[in-house]
Structure 1
Amino acid sequence: KALMKQLEQQKKFESTLSADWKHIYDLSEDIDDNLSILTVRPKQFAEQLALYEFQLYSQIRSSELVGQQWGSNNKKRNMTAGNVVAYTDHYNQMTNWCIYQILNLPSAIDRGKAIEQLIHIMVLSFHINNFLATFEIFFALNSAPIYRLCESWERVPVFHIRAFWLFSHMTLRSCKLYRNELEYIEPPTIPYLGTFLTDLTFIEDGNATRTKTGEINFHFKCAKVHQ
C-alpha cells in the first residue's frame, strides 16, 4: 500500500510538469541542447524546479545523514544514502547546466541576457523559500568560467548585479546569514544541505566515536550529530 501511494504521488507530481520540463530533471539524461535559458519563463522555471527539488529533499531520511554514508568513499552509498546522493547529484547537474547555458551562447550580449535571466530565477527561488535552487544558480554564476566574463557582466542591468552581490553575503562566514534565515523562516522550504553536510563531516572526523574509557562519546559527537 505504501508503495502504491508513493507511485500515485509520483504520477501526480509528473502530471504537473510539461513535456519540455521533464527531461531537465531526469538525472540519467544528458543536457538537452534544444532548451535555452533565454526562452524559458523565469516564474514557471522557478516553480517547476521547486516542485521537483522539494520531492528530492522530502525523501531524505535522517538515518542517511549519519556516518558520512553519502561520501564517495562509501561504495554502497547509493543503497545506504541514495536520497542524499540523488540530492547532491541534482545540485551538481543543475549548477553545471547553468554554466553550460551561458558558455554555449555565441555573443557577450546573449551571455549577459542569460546571466540576467538566471539572476531573476535565483531571486524568484529565494522568495518561494527554495534555497537549493538559489545556491545552485549563485555558485554557477560565481564560478571561475562565468565570473571572468567581464563583457557579459557589463551588459547585465545594475539591479540584477546588486541582487547577485546581495546574495553573495549569504555565503560569508560559513553561510551565517543563510543559517539565520533558515532558522526563522516559515515552512515549507527547500534547504541547501551543503553547509550542513560539511558540518556533519567535521563533527564525524573531529570527534571520536568512543571516549578513552570505551564509552560512547554522546555529548561531544552523538549529540552534535543529532542537533
Structure 2
Amino acid sequence: YHVTLKRVQIQQAASKGARWLGIERDQLPPDHTVSQHETCKIRSIKAGTLEKLVENLLTAFGDNDFNYINIFLSTYRGFATTKEVLELILDRYGNLEISNCEDDRSQNSTENKTVLRTAIASILRAWLDQCSEDFREPPDYLCLQKLLAYLTRVMPGSVLEGRAQNLLEQFQKQEVMNGGIHDTLANEEKLETENSEDFSSFAEDFVAEQLTYMDAELFKRLVPYHCLGSIWSQRSKKENNHLALTIRATIAQFNAVTQCVIRTILNDKELKTQQRAKIIEKWIDIAHECRILKNFSSLRAIVSALQSNSIYRLKKCWASVAKDSMLMFEELSEIFSDRDNYLISRELLMREGTSKFANLDSSVKENQKRTQRRLQLQKDMGIMQGTVPYLGTFLTDLTMLDAALQNYVEVGFHKKMYEFEVIAQIKLLQSSCNSYCMTSDRRFIQWFRKQPELTEEER
C-alpha cells in the first residue's frame, strides 16, 4: 500500500468569544465559527496479486472508495480476463452468503451476509453499466450466463437481474442483425447510383460532415480497454488477429481518409498544375471544416496526407496554392506539432477550443479568429457537437505506460491509476460524440469506399 496523510475537516465549532457568550454553533453565521481539522492516514493500493485486488473490491465498497472500483473495472483486462475476475467474485465470495454453516444463525452473520450481498451487487451493477462490452462473448456469452444464473439464484427479480437479462438479449439481437457501422456502409455501397460522382461535386463542409459522421460512429463503438498497452501491443502476433477490432476499424478509417486525399490529387495524370493545386486547396478547406467540427481524426489524416512525400514533392503545385490556403495549412499543421510531446494538440483536445500561437503571421491569427467566431456562433445557436480525437495519441500514451511500468509477480496498481486517467478521457470524448446530429449520405459513402489505393509506383 501507499500511505499518505490528508488534512480533513471534522467539525465547525463556535469561536471562543461565542462560547463565552453562551451561544451555540448552529446559532451563528459561518463567519463566527471556527473550523477544526485533523490529519488522517489514507491508504491506497500500490500492488497486489489478482486475488488480493479482487478482494479489495469488496473492502473498497465498504470504505466508499469508489475510485478504486472504477480504476479496477476500467483496467483489469490488461492483466486478467472477465472469466477470472467473475469467478473470483462469485465462486469465492458469492457462495459464502448461501453456505450453511453453524454460524449462519447468529445476528452478526446475517448482517455480514447482507453487507456482502450489497457490496457484490453494487460492484456487478457498476461492471454492467460501465464495461458492458466485457460480457460480449458470442455466441454462448458464458460469463453473462454465469452472472445471470447467480443473480437468479441469489437476487431473483432484482433490477440487477433484469439489467443482465436485457444486456444478454441486446447482444444476441445485435449478433443476429450483424450490426456495426461497417455493415451499414457495406450495405450502402451496394446501392448503385446512376451517375458516378466526382470529388469536385462535393462541397467542402459536406465532405467534412460525412467524414465526421463516419469517424464519430466508429469512435462511439470503440471498446476503451482495447487501447490498453498490454492489449494493443500484442496485436502483431499471428494468433491475435482478432484482438482490438474496434481500434483496427478506427485505424482503417484513418488510413482510408489519407489514401483518399492522395488519390484525388495524384490519380489523374492529365491534371494541370493549377488544377492539382485547386484540389490541394479544397482538402485544406475540408481540413479546416473538420477543425470546426472538432474532428481531429480526419483533420490529422488530411494533414498527414498533404505532408506525405508523394504530395510534398509537388513543388510547382504548392507554389500555385493560394497564400491564404497555405497559411491555413500551416496553422492546421502546427496543431499536430511534435514539440513537447504534442502539447498543443493535447491541450486543444482537452479544452475543445482553438489554440493560440503568438509567433504566427497576422493572417493566420485572422483564420483563428474566424474559426473562433464559427464555434461561438454554433454555441450561441444551441448547436451541440462532440469531439472526435486522434486515437494515436492515446494509444502511444498507454503503450509507453505499459512499457515503462512492467508488471512482475504482482500487478502494479499505481500504473493502473495512470491508465485509468487516459481511459476516462476516452470515455468522456465518446460520450460527447452523441451530440453530433448528422446522417450519412449514400452518394458520398459509395464514392469514398470505392476509392482505390494507389501503389508505391503510382505515387
Q: TM-score scaled to structure 2, two decimals?
A: 0.42
Aligned to 1:89: 252
Q: Are residues 1:203 and 2:370 paired? A: no
Which segments of 5 or more consecutive residues in structure 1 lack a partner in the other structure? 27-33
Q: 2: CA distance between counterparts of 1:176 and 1:209?
A: 28
Q: Are residues 1:118 and 2:286 paired? A: no
Deviations for 1:4-55, whole angstroms, at most 9, x for unmatched residues? 57969869x96xx9x9xx54xx9xxxxxxx5543332111111111111100
Q: Are residues 1:216 and 2:411 paired? A: yes
Which letter does structure 1 place at the counterpart of 2:403?
D
> Relative to 1, partners in 2 of residues 1:110 and 1:102: Cα closer, same or farther, differing over 3 Å?
same
Preserved contact between residue 46 and residue 124 of structure 1 (Cα < 8 Å): yes
Q: 1: CA distance between counterparts of 2:264 and 2:350?
A: 33
> Relative to 1, partners in 2 of residues 1:159 and 1:120: Cα closer, same or farther, differing over 3 Å?
same
> Relative to 1, partners in 2 of residues 1:162 and 1:150: Cα closer, same or farther, differing over 3 Å?
same
Q: Which moved more, 1:68-77 or 1:79-88?
A: 68-77
Deviations for 1:139-158, whole angstroms, at most 9, x for unmatched residues? 00011111111111122111
Which letter does structure 2 place at the counterpart of 1:108?
T
Aligned to 1:225: 419
Counterpart among 129, 132, 140 of residue 297 in structure 2 = 132
Q: 2: CA distance between counterparts of 1:171 and 1:74?
A: 30
Which segments of 5 or more consecutive residues in structure 2 lack a partner in the other structure? 1-168, 191-195, 354-384, 422-459
Q: 2: CA distance between counterparts of 1:137 and 1:112?
A: 15
Residue 206 of structure 1 deviates from its aligned partner by 2.2
Q: Cα RMSD over matched residues?
A: 2.7
Aligned to 1:30: none
Q: Are residues 1:103 and 2:266 paired? A: yes
The structure with the larger Rg is 2
Aligned to 1:37: 199
Preserved contact between residue 212 and residue 295 of structure 2 (Cα < 8 Å): yes
> Relative to 1, partners in 2 of residues 1:76 and 1:104: Cα closer, same or farther, differing over 3 Å?
same
Consecutive aligned runs of 4 or more in structure 1 exceeding 4 Å deviation: 3-11
Aligned to 2:445: none
Secondary structure of the 2:410 match is coil
Counterpart among 227, 238, 251 of residue 75 in structure 1 = 238
Deviations for 1:166-213, whole angstroms, at most 9, x for unmatched residues? 112112223211110111128611111111111122112222113xxx
Which letter does structure 1 place at the counterpart of 2:199?
I
Residue 71 of structure 1 deviates from its aligned partner by 5.2
Deviations for 1:93-152, whole angstroms, at most 9, x for unmatched residues? 211121111111332112101100000000001101111110010000011111111111
Q: Which moved more, 1:187-196 or 1:141-150?
A: 187-196
Aligned to 1:63: 225
Preserved contact between residue 69 and residue 77 of structure 1 (Cα < 8 Å): no
Q: 2: CA distance between counterparts of 1:203 and 1:178?
A: 19
Q: 2: CA distance between counterparts of 1:207 and 1:111?
A: 49
Q: Are residues 1:162 and 2:327 paired? A: yes
More strand by share: 2
Preserved contact between residue 109 and residue 155 of structure 1 (Cα < 8 Å): yes
> Relative to 1, partners in 2 of residues 1:36 and 1:149: Cα closer, same or farther, differing over 3 Å?
farther
Q: 2: CA distance between counterparts of 1:175 and 1:85?
A: 23
Which letter does structure 2 place at the counterpart of 1:218?
F
Residue 75 of structure 1 deviates from its aligned partner by 3.4
Q: 1: CA distance between counterparts of 2:275 and 2:223?
A: 42
Aligned to 2:170: 2
Counterpart among 349, 352, 372 of residue 185 in structure 1 = 352
Secondary structure of the 1:79 match is coil
Q: 2: CA distance between counterparts of 1:79 and 1:72?
A: 8
